[in-house]
Each structure stands twice: as C-alpha cells, then as structure tokens.
A and B are shown apart, each in its own frame.
Chain A
Amino acid sequence: MALEKHIYKIFEDIVGPENISQEPAVLDSYSWRQGQGARMDKFVPRFEAIILPKYTEEVQAIVKLCNRYMLQFKASSTDWATAGTRGGPNIIKIDLRRMSKIIEINEKNMYAVVEPYVIYAQLQAELMKKGLNCNVIGAGSNCSALPLAAHGGIGHMGQSASCGERNLLAVEWVTPEGEIVKLGSLGSADEWFCGDGPGSSLRGIIRGGISAMGGIGVFTKAAVKVYHWPGPSIFPIEGVSPHYAPSQTPERFMIRFFSFPSIEKMLEAERKIGESEISFELMGFNAAMIASNIATSNDEDFENLNRLRSLMKGHGFLVIVAGNSNREFEYQQRVLQKIIDETKGKSLELIEDPKIGGGLLWRCIRITASIRETFRATGTWGGALAGTDIFAKEVYHMEKAALIKKDLIRRGLARDDGGGILVWAQEHGHLGHGEMLLQYSTSPESIKGAVELATGSDRIALDDHYGVPHGIMGNEKHDMFGPYAYNYHLWLKKIKKAFDPNEAADPTFYISAKK
C-alpha cells in the first residue's frame, strides 16, 4: 500500500524529491531477507517508502509527520542485521545514510561525536592518527560507529575499550513523538563529555544491555568514549585484495591464540589476564572463526578448519598485548606466559607465524573480517546469544546450549564448524559475553534447526537462571522473561508508552505497549 499522494508530497517537501522513494525496485532493495536469521521467504514485507534525511531537523519533521498521520517509522544506519528490516503496512524506513559526519574528536576529554552513518573503520582510523582508539563492535568496522546503533556493542576490544553500554556519552535524540532531546552534558552545557549530566540522564531509558533497535526514536548524534592507542597512526597494510598483509608487526604488539584442556582452565586464564590488566584485546575465537578469518576463500577456510581442529586442545581465546614501553611489553609477556603455564594453555603455533599472526592482528584490531567469519560459508547465519554479565555464567549458558548445536550438526541440519562457542571476558575479567554461531541453509529443515537452537538456548537461560540474554527482543520474548526478572518487561512497556504514545517507532525488535 503506497503512501497517499498528499502525505508523500509532505515528506517530499522535507527532504526533496530525490531523497524519498516508493518505487517497488527501491523498496525491494530494503526488503531482502539478509543473511542473519534468514527464513524461507526471500523478501520481508516492504516498507511504504524510503526516506533519506540529512539533518536532525529533517528527522524531527519526518517523525512528527508519522505521528500526525499514524504511520510508523524504522530508522537505521548501516543496516546490517535482521533488526534493520521488518517493514509491513504503515511503516516507512528512515535511512540515515546521508548523516555521515564526524562532528568532533576531542583528544583532551577523550570522546568522539558522530552521526549515524560514520562507520567504525573511519572513526577508528581518524582516532589512531591521534593516538586514540575506540571499541569496534564485533559485527565489523563496516557498521555504524554510533554507540547506540548496534545491538549490544560488544567487540573484540572489550578488555581495553569496553562495550556499547559503557561507551555512550551525550546523545542527541529525536524522540518517537518528534521532540529533540539533548541528553547528558549536552543538555546543559552544549558539551558531549558525559552521558549522565549535568543535563538530564536517560541512558537507562534509551538503552539497556542492548539498544532499542529502532524502537524508541532516532539517535541523530552521539558521543562515544575513546581510549589510548599504543600503536602506529597508519596501518602498514600492503598487497592487493584479498591478500592484504602488514609489512611489519607493530613494535610492542604480540598476538597469540591459546587453547586449554578444560573450560575451567580457560576461565581461570581469562580471569587472571583480566586481573593483571595486561591485555589489549581478548576475543573468544574458536577454531572455525580463526579458520575463516585467515582464509581468503571458502576452500581455504575448509582446509584451515580441518588443520586447526587437530592442532587445538579445546576451548580457547585470542589475545593481543600491546605495550607502551619495552619494559611494559616485557612485563605483559612474562605475566601472560606465567598465566598460560599455570593454566596449562597451549599456544597455536600457526598464529605465532609473523605473516599469519600479523594479518590476524590487524584484522582483529580493525575488525575487518567479520563477514568472512559469519556468512561467507553458507550465506546465512544465526545461533544463540547469551548476555554480558558475570563471565562464568555466560560461558556455562553457552556450553549447555552448544549441546543443541552439536545435535543439529549430528542431524545434518547445519554446517559442521566444530560446534564451538564464542565466549570471552571483558573489562579485566569481571564481565563476559557469550554467543554461538550457526551457519545453516534456507531449507525448511535447516531453518527449523536454527529456530530450535535460538529458542532452546533462551529456554536454557530461563530454566537455569542465566538471566536475560541479548537476543530477547519483541513482546513474546520479553513477556517470557520478564516475570522471572523483576517484571522488567512491564517497565519497558511503560517507557515505550510514555515516550511513544502513538507507537510511531516500529516496536518489532523492541517492545510494544499495546495490549
């Protein structure tokens, strides 16, 4: 159902005729099912129109019109995930692609202010020129650097650069009713340095463990906390795609992959690494992720995985240490070795190779290979998500859910990637995150298997009291978990109702207050 002509015209007047479309071909390019959580239908329902604002005021005007004409909107930036889709009757897509400026990099106060379509690759590159760095989400540096755009904002640099919920500072927010609200220090001092004041703080309202996935308005600018970067300002990458390689490993950087005889030993090692604060990056890779990351094709990936399976002891993680001085670097290496000795870890020699390890080092700092890792193999991916909480809890949740995955592989319903889980400690060990990748196909049986894993994992979280996983979105799941978690779902619905009485912001991947 197309927008009525006069309504379309009003939208058109806001952004100009070249920045709005309801042509079927354009709409279908936003309706492709994408690889994540793919189902049998190749296309999800179309949006009514796609609109491309450039300024906050245009976003505001669009949102207000949606409220006036009882339309819904779904805003997204780089749009790589199922949550960017949905569509359906009465929903228009606000594509924030034209909002693409880095507003400020404040070296003194260590933050950067970005619009939604700045990608991490850009921001990180600019930061590194100034000796700074930011958390890049694990989904990849092709994603929006706005700390509210991503789902959990979890990344490889969680040890040294934390995650989305921690890094969010001041925010410019167009509420679902179309009010422009400036949160944190921006609200009182026109400064971006803090999310909690001296202006009003609504950080806990606009996001929790995960963002609202478009369900609570549009975030048009936000400040992200940045961190010290001990590496070079320019990346020494040479060669021609896809055979990029660093000409040298930067001074005082070391990358290793360790595997352990038991999950307990791995947990102990990660705890100790966290406590000693020696790690720049710690990522819970398994054999399949390493195999995909270092491979330039599926054929290479296939061979790598076969080789790695025989070389690795069991569960493991990838660790990068980066020293500010030779003395510090020596200390870091010595401590790391001691921890690995104590926990009976085994270094994967392949990664000690400067060429392979050097390439992996840069890809894992710049997060450029997540596409290789997630969907090159089959074109689809899904799996199970734990939360970000006490590390061991997340690990045991995923360990149990892994039995479902292994059973799916045994039944021939998903790619056999070894069945490994992805768990890693964050912020010096007291927090951790867990997830599990499943690469399947779009056959009915395989899709059924993918659903079985996701729902099975959630059931485990509920029954075994592992808390609310990050994959809980939409009313059905919130209603399932809420009663077991302080009725948080009722509060979430109240928030939705208070800020979005007309339910203008598409609640599909957030929560609806409607009964």
Chain B
Amino acid sequence: MSLDDYQSDMEMCGRCSVCKFIPLEKVNGFQHVNVCPSISKYNFNAYSGGGRLNIVVAMLEGRVGYTDKLLEIVYNCQMCGACDVSCKYAMDMEVLEPINEFRIKCVEDGYTLSTLDKTITRLQKQGTMVPGAKSKRGNWADGLDVKDYTEQKVKIIYHAGCRTCYDKDLGELAKTAVTLLKKAGVDIGIARGEELCCGGRAYEMGYKDDSLRQAKHNMELFQKAGAEILVTGCADCYYTFKVLYDKFQLKGDLKVLHTVEYFDDLIKEGKLKPSKEFNALVTYHDPCHLGRLGEPFIHWKGEKIPGYMRRFDPPKQYRRGTYGIYEPPRDVIKSIPGIKLTEMDRIKEYSWCCGSGGGVKETNPDFAAWTAKERIEEAESTGAEAIVTACPGCNKSLKNAIKETGSKLKVYDVIELLEKSI
C-alpha cells in the first residue's frame, strides 16, 4: 500500500493524545506513563504518532514541503510502534504503517539524511549496514562444528544478524545459542561469512528498494538450502523475516522463530533441562520487534462498506500488538532455578523502546542514549539486579546506557542465563 492508501486512516486522528501514553487501562501511577520516546524527549505534538500523521496529511495536501526540520522530525522516531498499539486500543486505524510509508516517500523524493545514506551505501556494497569487513562476518562461528547451509542442505537454519556478527560479545551469544541447539539435538546450519543483512532496518529507514533486494537475496539463499525453519536471536531480524518478508509476499512457507521461542519449546519438551541455580532478581525488557511488532503480518485487501461507520468488506483485522512474543522469553527465564522475575511498569505491548531502532542510533545517538537511560531508570526502580532481553540491539543499547549512568544493573540475554543453568 502506498501513502495515499493510508490517507483515510491518518484523517481518523482525533488528537486525543493516547498515542503518547501507555494504554490507559494499564496506568498504575504517576511514573512511566509515557510510551513514545520521541514526544517524551521533544515535546512538540509533531513528534507524537498523531502529530506525525497530521504532518503527512499536511504534506499530501501540499501545505508543507521538505525542510531540515521536517526531516529531523521524521527521523527522530525509533519506529517502535508503541503509538500504534496505544491508539489501536481504542481505534481502527493504522498509525505506524503510514509513518513508515512517509519515510519511504522521503527516500523516493530524495530527502534523506547523509548518515543514513552512508549506512545504506555500506549495505549496498558489503551486504551489511554495520561497519566492518565482509570477510569478518563469519568469525563469530569460528570453532563451531555446524553445517554451512550455503554448501549443504539443512531444514533448520540459524541467522545471527549483522550486529551479532560484528560484535565480539554478541558473537559469543550466537555461538552459545547454536551450541545449545546442537546439544538439544537440533540439526542446524549457518551461513558463516555468506550471511546477509535481513534488510529490516533499511525498510524502517525508508529505503524500501534496498530492503527488498536484501529480502530477495536472502530468500534465494534459504530456498537453495532447503530451509524450512529459520531461527534467529535478533529481534530485528525476526520481525523482518517473519513480518516484512510476509508483507512483501516473499516468505513462502518459511517458519520463523526467535531463539527464545525455540528454546521455550525445547525446555517444555524436556529436551533442554535448566538445572543449575542462578540466584538473581531480574526484570525483562521486551524488544519492540519481538514483542508488539513481532506478531504475524495480516494480508488484507478490501473496500470500505458504504455508510458512516468505518468498516470494511472483508472485515479488516488490525495488528494491535496483541499476538507478539511475550510469554516464551518469560517462560525460559522462569524455568531457570533460582531466578526471580519482576516486571517493570511498561511491558509487553506497551514496553518502552531501548532507543536504538529506526535509524535513531545512527542519526541521533544522544536521543538513542536518552531513551535507553529512561529504561535503565525504570528497571532500577523494580529493585532488580539485572535487565534481561532477547535482542542484540537492545542489549548493546542498554549496556551503553549503564556505562554512561554508572548504574550497577547487569544486562543479560535470555540465552546467557539459559547457558548458565545448563
């Protein structure tokens, strides 16, 4: 769907401001009611979900043109989708989709930020947006006795993701995940240095063509390997393979699972048994792309039913964040003896973003850091010793915030905790 197709959605905005807050039924106090990092930091209505829609309508109506300020507003958004969920508690309208479509329009019209252009150039040249030589991409898997799916057929493949491949600590996490999968008897393959960026972040930055190109290359690779199931420990990649590739109608029958889902199943089937105690009080941070954005894509095409009420034929099912991946990571954590899980105020579908999404980390690292610090403060308020997550992006973002704030919180990936217990 193009931006024009969302005009009637955008014009439903009633300026009620619920896009700025967590769903009202879940407000339990004064603190931690804000859900959108952008409006929370910059305060002008333009930075809220609703304000963004107002601006796009203004653009479509020819009232505003491209300016530096407009682009600053457009790209100071993590595309975390929290506004979308809060709005759709009450409304039948799309919020995040048109915001993303507007970024695509900006790119098509040639209005981008140079930092993002450079990032995309890297993607075009070396198949990843992360700085680092392509030849080093597979280094994380050195010493792993695991199939290479670019050379032999395998039904289950593991995708590490760009951040993980080029970060030593995160690479260790991937290694742990593959080792644990093998330990549970899973026949799995990886692509080592041939692995490509999923293209998801490029899509959220507005570079649709580049994203589609990545998607096509990846699906060719997966199909050639005979892959039926893709497992990834990266929430961004998970969302891209599961949701965006489906949206592009490229996913086919490929089943996409996050490692927390796979491990949760293995534990419940008795194939993995966490037994060693790990005594700690922890809290869990829901990555946006695994949580609210991780619910399946819903294909729909239809017409508005004549009349005043906004209804469609066939009925339109909205993605409201309801069916994101919330319980599997929590169940894995709770399966570890000794661990106690305490929850933050903003969780699951109304979780606060870690700050690194949507290109913000690249274009405005201060804003990304501010957002992460907010999350660290919230995690600390629970009394937890550690914040656990299931996304390398969140992991790094939270760790950086801890470094800057001097917090004593520790950051773990779910896989790290699981490893300690097995």
B-binding residues in A (CB < 8 A): 18-19, 21, 23-26, 28-32, 34-36, 42-43, 50, 52, 78-80, 84, 95, 97-98, 102, 118-119, 121-123, 125-126, 129, 140-142, 234-235, 237, 240-244, 297-299, 301-302, 362-363, 366-369, 371-372, 374-379, 414-416, 439-441, 446
| Contact for B29 among A26, A125, A298, A376, CB less than 8 A | A125
| A26 close to B21 (CB less than 8 A) | no
Residues of A within 8 A of B64 (CB): 24-25, 28
Contacts of B67 in A (CB 8 A): 23-25
Contacts of A376 in B (CB 8 A): 90-92, 310
- Write the nearest CB–CB distance from A49 to chain B, whole angstroms: 11
Residues of A close to B33: CB separation below 8 A: 119, 121-122
Is B69 in contact with A122, judged by CB distance below 8 angstroms? no
The 8 closest A-B pairs by CB, nearest first: A35-B14, A415-B308, A29-B51, A371-B90, A121-B27, A29-B46, A368-B24, A28-B58
Instruction: Report A32 CB to chain B, min CB distance, Å.
Output: 4
CB-nearest residue of chain B to A378: B308
A240 contacts B322, C-beta separation under 8 Å: yes
**Between-chain CB contacts (< 8 Å), 5 pairs:** A21-B44, A25-B46, A79-B15, A240-B324, A241-B349
Distance of A19 Cα from B348 Cα, bound (Å): 32
Residues of B within 8 A of A28 (CB): 46, 54-55, 58, 63-64
Taking CB atoms, residues of chain A closer than 8 Å to B42 are 18
- Size of chain B's interface in residues, with CB distance under 8 A? 63
Contacts of B70 in A (CB 8 A): 23, 25
Q: How far is A102 from B31 in the complex, measured between Cα atoms in Å?
A: 11
A371 and B348 within 8 A (CB): no
Q: Is B127 an interface residue (CB 8 A)?
A: no
Q: Please report the C-alpha to C-alpha distance between residue A235 and residue B323 in the assembled complex, in whole angstroms.
A: 23
Output the nearest chain B residue to A124 by Cβ-Cβ distance: B27
Q: With A and B bound together, what is the CA distance between A301 and B92 in angstroms?
A: 11
Q: Which B residues between 44 and 86 are near A, CB-CB below 8 angstroms?
A: 44-46, 48, 50-52, 54-55, 57-58, 61, 63-65, 67, 69-70, 73, 85-86
Q: Which of A142, A362, A414 contacts B18 (CB 8 A)?
A: A142
Could you tell me the distance between the alpha carbons of A495 and B113 in the complex, rounded to whole angstroms? Answer: 53
Of A119, A141, A416, most B-chain CB atoms within 10 Å = A119
Q: Tell me, rounded to whole Å, the shortest Cβ–Cβ distance linking A407 to chain B.
A: 16
- Check if B309 is an interface residue, CB within 8 A of chain A: yes
Within 8 Å CB of B46, what residues of A? 21, 23, 25-26, 28-29
Closest CB of chain B to A244's CB: distance in Å?
Answer: 5
- Cβ distance A319 to chain B, nearest Cβ, rounded Å: 21
- Nearest residue (CB) in B for A105 is B30
Instruction: Find chain B residues with CB under 8 A from A118 CB.
Output: 30
B14 lies within 8 A of A36 (CB): yes
A453 to chain B, nearest CB (A): 14
What CA separation (Å) do A78 and B17 show in the bound complex?
7
Nearest-Cβ distance from residue B347 to partner chain A, whole angstroms: 10
Which residue of chain A lies nearest to B13 when distances are taken between CB atoms in the complex? Answer: A32
Given contacts A26-B46, A34-B14, 10 further A-B contacts (CB under 8 A): A25-B69, A43-B63, A95-B43, A123-B30, A142-B17, A242-B89, A244-B89, A298-B311, A302-B309, A372-B91
In the bound complex, residues from chain A placing their C-beta under 8 Å from that of B239 are none
> Which of A30, A50, A142, A414 makes the CB contact (< 8 A) with B308?
A414
When the two chains form the complex, which single residue of B50, B55, B88 contacts A241, counting CB atoms closer than 8 Å? B88
B326 in the interface (beta carbon within 8 A):
yes
Question: Which of A119, A129, A297, A379 is within 8 Å of B21, CB to CB?
Answer: A119
Q: For the complex formed, measure the closest distance between the CB of B74 and the CB atoms of chain A, giving whole angstroms.
A: 9
Q: Smallest CB–CB gap between B51 and chain A, Å?
A: 4
* B311-A441 in contact (CB<8A): no
C-alpha spacing A200/B63, complex, angstroms: 48
Q: Is B25 an interface residue (CB 8 A)?
A: yes
Q: State whether the Cβ of B28 lies closer than 8 Å to any Cβ in chain A.
A: yes
